Amino acid sequence: MNEHSGKVAVITGGARGFGRGFAEALAARGARVVLADLDGEEAARAAAAIGDLAEALALDVADEPAVAAAMADVARRHGGIDILINNAGIHSAAAAQPIGVLGLERSRQMFEVNVWGVIQCTLAAAPFMAGREGAAIVNISSMASYPCTTAYGVTKLAVRGVTTAFAHELGPQGIRVNAIAPGLIMTDTIRAELPEAVVAAVSAQQIVKREGATSDIVEAMLYLVSPGSGFVTGECLRVSGGVTLQA
| Distance (Å, whole) CA 42 – CA 54 | 13
Q: What is the DSSP letter of 226?
A: S
Is 152 among the catalytic positions? yes
Q: Residue 102: CB partners within 8 Å, gap ≥ 6?
A: 95, 110, 150, 151
**Active-site residue, from 120, 152, 181, 238:** 152
| Distance (Å, whole) CA 187 – CA 166 | 29
| Distance (Å, whole) CA 232 – CA 220 | 13
| Distance (Å, whole) CA 49 – CA 168 | 37
Query: Which are the catalytic amino acids?
Result: 152
